[in-house]
Chains A and B, each alone.
Chain A
Amino acid sequence: MAWVTWRQHRLTLAGIAALIGAAGLYLLITGLQMRGAYSSVAACQPANSPLCQRAAGEFLDAYAPGAGWFLGLMQVIPALIGAFAGAPLLARELETGTFRYAWTQGFGRARWAVAKLVPLAVAVTVSTGAFSALIAWYLQPIFSAGDDKGPLDPTVFDMVGLALAAWTLVAFAIGVLAGFLIRRVIPAVFATLAVWSALAVVTGFFLRGHYAAPLVTTSPSNPAQAWVLSQGWFHGGAPASLDMINNTLARVDVRAVTPELFQPGPATPANLGDPVNYLIQHGYTQLTTYQPVGRFWPFQLVEGGWLLALSVLLIATAVWLVSRRAA
């Protein structure tokens, strides 16, 4: 049966392979170039000397923006696979009427559904899992060179570790179920894109930050590669408004555009230094809520785990509905 599933869906699978293959080739070529450039940064001794810091900075200036763009583009991979591989699977059967053949065969519908869905689910999960390992390899020099963004950063987190494979699997499962419920390919494709995007946004903005209680620091410099959830000024135990900060800074003719962005004026003393330190000296506290970079793998396990559970639930529901529900 797996062979027939392959014959039937080889165009879809070839499309996924082409997409991931092209992106992978790009990663391989630019990744090797990047490693060539990084070898001189890595060889620089002592590593914390100004010269070496500058070399690392230049390396990041050259490669980090490209990596950022690439990761941004790759965010659509799970949605594309869910919409174009997952959604048509059952919707096309219902749309073209072939379910009347498939659902009346001797082994029954449940077996047919499992034989169709499970190999494809495994295929998309394994291929995107391998692809995310390549992305992690590609990003490694950028993290080693001390980029501000750590692997917990929202644009990075769901492209590496278990997350890309899990997000793709859940997109596929959403597509399968949407296709069954909507029974038409095109509406199911759009429904899949909408539902998956909503789930990804809700997870990124509201769920992921709470997998473990965030840490809080009053240190003016952010912990290295941490995922900063929120940052704010406090004075006397209460949040300080922008007006309060500006009142304090007016004495040295600095204007706070935002609580983090300061603009010196003509009367600003040359020896003022960082306005952040000036505020701290004048009774302000900067509270930073963050997730430390060390929580990357625990977070990957949590997110991968619940997405996998959700995917299994969605696919099992689809199989159950196929075997139970009258067409």
Chain B
Amino acid sequence: MSVIESSGLGKRYGHNWALRGCTLAIPRRHVVALVGPNGAGKTTLLNLTVGLAAATEGIVTVLDGQSAGSPTALDGIAFVAQDTPLYKNLSGADMLHMSRNLNRRFDDTYARTRLRELDIPLERKAGAMSGGQQAQLALTLALARHPELLVLDEPMAMLDPLARHDFMATVMTAIADSGVSVLLSSHVLAELERVADYLVLLSDGSVQVSGEVDELLACHRVLTGPSANAGVYARQLNVVSARSGEAQAHLLVRTDGVNAPVPYGWEAHPVSLEELTLAYMRDPAAAALPGPQRAAVAQPVVARH
């Protein structure tokens, strides 16, 4: 029961590989945060998932093995692209009409109710709406299709904090109501922390971290101790990243779970998703990937390039 599965997936534009050797198996009913620095291949991976790009090598399937971009796959996936493209010269009502005509399933009542709740006038042209209203309209059009998977590419990049909050509230309501799986890419790590329960971190075109957020947080610790002997411990432990000041050093380490030993004179703190993500993004060589039978074990396997 996986919502996205890829194996050796790669996409090349000209001489540059935007994505390479991407192997993923994301189970259903998760809110998957796809993060990574600019140019890491996030949009490429999303485009491959919704069939807007064709793989150069490898395969990607969605919704239990359907080939990405096929009509059956598209029927179950709703996609809101970056900058939420809408026809600027069409009104909200026209956009509803169009979506209804382009989809087998379209819940007109849901869409109209939702837009009324959001105070988005149906007769207003999309081009005359605020960025937040356009994003909400695009999201409403996507959700009214009652998709099994909702894919959002940087949906909040152009929104102010209030609009971001409202946008994510709509997404969370839909998840609670229908159990839709969500895959969203974003730069806004703080927003993701609230909603995401699965993390995929891309770096330089390949998967650096992939796993459920709870498991990832459970097996990472921040150790704080004297800088003087940081180097010694760093050799003994799985250090993802190390920051040393004059007196104190902070080590983000992978542990074997709850009863991992804490060195004498050091303190262990749980790590936040944002800290974890930033630490991995700072050190692209470190990786945390699930093993082949990841579903059975709540224990990611450590891999080093």
Interface residues of A (CB under 8 A from B): 1, 3-4, 7-8, 96-108, 111-112, 115, 325-327
Contact = CB atoms under 8 A, between A and B. Distances in A.
Nearest to A111: B102
B102 A112 contact: yes
Contact of B77 (A7, A100, A104): A104
A299 B233 CA distance: 90
Contact of A97 (B85, B89, B98, B104): B85
B97 interface: yes
Contacts of B53: 326-327
Contacts of A103: 51-52
B85 A115 contact: no
Chain B, interface SS category? loop
Contacts of B141: 101
Contacts of A101: 79, 81, 85-87, 138, 141
B74 interface: yes
A108 B138 CA distance: 18
Given A4-B101, A106-B103, 18 more contacts: A97-B82, A97-B83, A100-B52, A101-B79, A101-B141, A103-B52, A104-B50, A104-B51, A104-B77, A105-B99, A105-B102, A106-B71, A106-B104, A107-B75, A107-B104, A108-B71, A112-B102, A326-B53
**Which of B47, B85, B138 has most A Cβ within 10 Å?**
B85
A105 B102 CA distance: 6
Given A8-B90, A326-B54, A106 B81 contact: no
Contacts of B78: 104
Contacts, number: 81
B175 to A, nearest CB: 20
A105 B101 CA distance: 9
Contacts of B138: 101
Interface of B: 47, 50-54, 71, 74-75, 77-79, 81-83, 85-90, 94, 97-99, 101-105, 138, 141, 145
Given A8-B90, A98-B86, A115 B51 contact: no
A327 to B, nearest CB: 5
Contact of A8 (B47, B52, B89, B103): B89
Contact of B75 (A106, A112, A327): A106
B94 A104 contact: no
Nearest to B97: A4
**Which of A3, A97, A105 has most B Cβ within 10 Å?**
A105
A178 B25 CA distance: 40
Contacts of A104: 50-52, 74, 77-79, 81
6 contacts: A4-B90, A4-B94, A4-B97, A8-B87, A104-B79, A108-B71
Contacts of A4: 90, 94, 97-98, 101
A99 B53 CA distance: 12
B262 to A, nearest CB: 49
A325 B82 CA distance: 20
A1 to B, nearest CB: 4
**Which of A8, A100, A103 has most B Cβ within 10 Å?**
A100
Nearest to A108: B71
B86 A326 contact: no
A247 to B, nearest CB: 69
Contact of A107 (B77, B79, B103): B103
A269 B155 CA distance: 93
Nearest to B77: A104
Contacts of A108: 71, 74
A199 B90 CA distance: 36
B145 A106 contact: yes
B102 A100 contact: no
A98 B87 contact: yes
